[in-house]
Structure 1
Amino acid sequence: MPVPFEALIPYAIIVTMFGVTGAGLSAIKTAQNGGKKARWSLDTWDRQMMDRDRRLTGWLRGQTDAADAPYGFEYNNPWRVEKRFS
Protein backbone atom coordinates (compact mmCIF):
# COMPACT_ATOMS: atom_id res chain seq x y z
CA MET A 1 0.00 0.00 0.00
CA PRO A 2 1.55 3.33 -1.05
CA VAL A 3 2.21 6.17 1.37
CA PRO A 4 0.24 9.33 0.66
CA PHE A 5 2.51 12.22 -0.29
CA GLU A 6 0.81 14.46 2.30
CA ALA A 7 2.50 12.40 5.02
CA LEU A 8 5.96 13.30 3.62
CA ILE A 9 5.41 17.08 3.54
CA PRO A 10 6.46 17.64 7.20
CA TYR A 11 9.67 15.68 6.61
CA ALA A 12 10.43 17.73 3.51
CA ILE A 13 9.88 20.94 5.49
CA ILE A 14 12.18 19.74 8.30
CA VAL A 15 14.96 18.72 5.89
CA THR A 16 14.64 22.04 4.04
CA MET A 17 14.86 24.03 7.28
CA PHE A 18 18.01 22.12 8.33
CA GLY A 19 19.56 22.97 4.96
CA VAL A 20 18.59 26.65 5.17
CA THR A 21 19.91 26.89 8.74
CA GLY A 22 23.23 25.24 7.85
CA ALA A 23 23.74 27.47 4.82
CA GLY A 24 22.87 30.57 6.87
CA LEU A 25 25.29 29.69 9.67
CA SER A 26 28.04 28.97 7.16
CA ALA A 27 27.46 32.33 5.45
CA ILE A 28 27.52 34.19 8.79
CA LYS A 29 30.74 32.51 9.92
CA THR A 30 32.40 33.28 6.59
CA ALA A 31 31.28 36.92 6.76
CA GLN A 32 32.59 37.26 10.32
CA ASN A 33 36.01 35.90 9.29
CA GLY A 34 36.51 38.30 6.40
CA GLY A 35 35.60 35.77 3.72
CA LYS A 36 37.87 33.03 5.08
CA LYS A 37 36.92 29.68 6.57
CA ALA A 38 36.35 29.51 10.32
CA ARG A 39 39.32 28.36 12.43
CA TRP A 40 39.20 25.43 14.83
CA SER A 41 41.40 24.39 17.79
CA LEU A 42 42.94 27.77 18.45
CA ASP A 43 45.73 27.79 20.99
CA THR A 44 47.11 30.78 22.90
CA TRP A 45 49.61 31.67 20.17
CA ASP A 46 46.93 31.71 17.48
CA ARG A 47 44.68 33.91 19.63
CA GLN A 48 47.54 36.35 20.30
CA MET A 49 48.39 36.60 16.62
CA MET A 50 44.75 37.03 15.63
CA ASP A 51 44.38 39.79 18.23
CA ARG A 52 47.54 41.45 16.87
CA ASP A 53 46.16 41.22 13.33
CA ARG A 54 42.87 42.74 14.52
CA ARG A 55 44.74 45.66 16.09
CA LEU A 56 46.82 46.15 12.93
CA THR A 57 44.12 45.84 10.29
CA GLY A 58 40.78 46.11 12.06
CA TRP A 59 39.79 42.56 11.05
CA LEU A 60 40.26 39.52 13.25
CA ARG A 61 41.60 37.48 10.33
CA GLY A 62 43.14 40.35 8.37
CA GLN A 63 46.84 40.40 7.64
CA THR A 64 49.10 43.10 6.28
CA ASP A 65 52.50 43.14 4.61
CA ALA A 66 53.28 46.75 5.56
CA ALA A 67 56.71 47.12 7.18
CA ASP A 68 55.53 49.92 9.49
CA ALA A 69 52.64 49.68 11.92
CA PRO A 70 49.83 52.22 11.43
CA TYR A 71 49.72 55.42 13.44
CA GLY A 72 48.47 54.80 16.97
CA PHE A 73 49.45 51.12 17.10
CA GLU A 74 51.98 51.75 19.84
CA TYR A 75 49.16 53.07 22.05
CA ASN A 76 46.88 50.16 21.23
CA ASN A 77 48.39 47.78 23.77
CA PRO A 78 46.43 44.61 24.58
CA TRP A 79 47.93 44.39 28.08
CA ARG A 80 45.76 45.86 30.79
CA VAL A 81 47.14 47.66 33.81
CA GLU A 82 46.11 46.13 37.10
CA LYS A 83 43.89 48.10 39.43
CA ARG A 84 45.66 49.02 42.63
CA PHE A 85 44.24 48.29 46.06
CA SER A 86 43.16 51.43 47.84
Structure 2
Amino acid sequence: MPVPFETLIPYAIILAMFGVTGAGMSKVKNMNNAGKRTRRSLDQWDKQMMDRDRRLTGHLRGQTGNHLPPPGFELNNPWRTEPRIS
Protein backbone atom coordinates (compact mmCIF):
# COMPACT_ATOMS: atom_id res chain seq x y z
CA MET A 1 0.00 0.00 0.00
CA PRO A 2 1.64 3.29 -1.06
CA VAL A 3 2.15 6.17 1.38
CA PRO A 4 0.50 9.45 0.36
CA PHE A 5 3.07 12.20 -0.20
CA GLU A 6 1.14 14.55 2.11
CA THR A 7 2.27 12.48 5.09
CA LEU A 8 5.94 13.03 4.19
CA ILE A 9 5.73 16.84 4.03
CA PRO A 10 6.27 17.39 7.80
CA TYR A 11 9.34 15.14 7.72
CA ALA A 12 10.73 17.07 4.77
CA ILE A 13 10.17 20.35 6.62
CA ILE A 14 11.90 19.04 9.74
CA LEU A 15 14.85 17.75 7.71
CA ALA A 16 15.14 21.09 5.89
CA MET A 17 15.09 23.01 9.19
CA PHE A 18 17.90 20.81 10.58
CA GLY A 19 19.93 21.60 7.47
CA VAL A 20 19.27 25.35 7.70
CA THR A 21 20.15 25.37 11.40
CA GLY A 22 23.39 23.45 10.84
CA ALA A 23 24.45 25.72 8.00
CA GLY A 24 23.59 28.81 10.06
CA MET A 25 25.55 27.61 13.09
CA SER A 26 28.54 26.80 10.89
CA LYS A 27 28.43 30.27 9.33
CA VAL A 28 28.13 32.02 12.71
CA LYS A 29 31.09 30.06 14.14
CA ASN A 30 33.11 30.81 11.02
CA MET A 31 32.37 34.54 11.28
CA ASN A 32 33.14 34.53 15.01
CA ASN A 33 36.60 33.03 14.37
CA ALA A 34 37.57 35.50 11.62
CA GLY A 35 37.02 32.97 8.84
CA LYS A 36 39.11 30.26 10.49
CA ARG A 37 38.00 26.82 11.61
CA THR A 38 36.69 26.38 15.15
CA ARG A 39 39.33 25.37 17.69
CA ARG A 40 38.68 22.25 19.74
CA SER A 41 40.34 20.65 22.78
CA LEU A 42 41.96 23.85 24.02
CA ASP A 43 44.42 23.41 26.86
CA GLN A 44 45.77 26.12 29.17
CA TRP A 45 48.63 27.03 26.81
CA ASP A 46 46.27 27.56 23.88
CA LYS A 47 43.95 29.73 25.98
CA GLN A 48 46.91 31.76 27.22
CA MET A 49 48.22 32.33 23.69
CA MET A 50 44.73 33.22 22.40
CA ASP A 51 44.37 35.77 25.21
CA ARG A 52 47.77 37.21 24.27
CA ASP A 53 46.71 37.44 20.63
CA ARG A 54 43.49 39.18 21.69
CA ARG A 55 45.49 41.73 23.69
CA LEU A 56 47.90 42.30 20.79
CA THR A 57 45.47 42.48 17.87
CA GLY A 58 42.06 43.02 19.44
CA HIS A 59 40.69 39.73 18.08
CA LEU A 60 40.80 36.31 19.71
CA ARG A 61 42.16 34.54 16.61
CA GLY A 62 44.23 37.41 15.23
CA GLN A 63 48.00 37.13 14.94
CA THR A 64 50.63 39.68 14.12
CA GLY A 65 54.11 39.39 12.65
CA ASN A 66 55.25 42.71 14.06
CA HIS A 67 58.26 42.26 16.32
CA LEU A 68 57.41 45.38 18.34
CA PRO A 69 54.35 45.39 20.60
CA PRO A 70 51.79 48.15 20.14
CA PRO A 71 52.00 51.18 22.45
CA GLY A 72 50.48 50.45 25.82
CA PHE A 73 51.02 46.68 25.63
CA GLU A 74 53.67 46.83 28.35
CA LEU A 75 50.93 47.95 30.77
CA ASN A 76 48.41 45.40 29.50
CA ASN A 77 49.01 42.64 32.05
CA PRO A 78 46.74 39.58 31.86
CA TRP A 79 47.30 38.73 35.53
CA ARG A 80 44.54 39.97 37.78
CA THR A 81 45.57 41.01 41.26
CA GLU A 82 43.42 41.44 44.31
CA PRO A 83 43.16 44.84 45.94
CA ARG A 84 45.09 45.33 49.15
CA ILE A 85 43.11 44.97 52.35
CA SER A 86 43.87 47.81 54.74
TM-score by length of 2: 0.95
Q: Which residue of 2 aligns with 1:53?
A: 53
Q: Which 4+ runs in 1 deviate beyond 6 A?
A: none
Confirm whether residue 34 of structure 1 aligns to residue 38 of structure 2: no
Shift of 1:74: 1.1
Q: Which residue of 1 aligns with 2:77?
A: 77
Whole-angstrom distance in 1 between the partners of 2:5 and 2:72? 65
Shift of 1:39: 0.3
Q: Which residue of 1 aligns with 2:23?
A: 23
Shift of 1:83: 2.4
Whole-angstrom distance in 2 between the partners of 1:45 and 1:82? 23
**Residue identity (%):** 70
Gapped runs of 5+ residues in structure 1? none
Whole-angstrom distance in 2 between the partners of 1:7 and 1:22? 24
Q: Which residue of 1 aligns with 2:62?
A: 62
Whole-angstrom distance in 2 between the partners of 1:84 and 1:70? 30
Structure with the bigger RCO (C-alpha within 8 Å, sep 6+) is 1
Encode CA deviations 1:38-65: one digit per residue, 9 max, x unaligned: 0000000000000000000111011110
Root mean square deviation of aligned Cα? 0.9
